[in-house]
Amino acid sequence: MTSLGLDSGKIPYTVYMTTKSYIKESPKTLQKFTNAIYKGQIWVDKHTSREIAEVIAPQFKENSIDEIEKIVDRYKQQETWIKTPIFQEESLALVEEILKSSDKLSSPIPYEKFINTDFAKDAVEFIQQ
Tens digits of residue pLDDT in 38-67:
999 999 999 999 999 999 999 999 999 999
86 touches 121 (CB < 8 A): yes
Nearest to 87 by CA among 5, 15, 7: 15
Q: Which of 55-64, 65-74, 77-86 is least confident?
A: 77-86
State how far the Cα of 40 lies from the Cα of 67, in Å rounded to an integer: 22
pLDDT at 2 over 60: no
Phi, psi angles (nearest 5°) of residue 33: -60, -45
pLDDT at 18: 94
Domain that holds residue 69: 4-127
pLDDT at 91 over 70: yes
Nearest to 70 by CA among 57, 59, 82: 57
Q: Is 53 exposed, middle or buried (0-12, 13-18, 19+ CB in 10 A)?
A: buried
pLDDT at 45: 95
pLDDT at 28: 98
- The count of structural domains within the chain is 1
Compare 7 and 110 and report the one with higher pLDDT.
110
How much of the chain exceeds pLDDT 90, in percent? 65
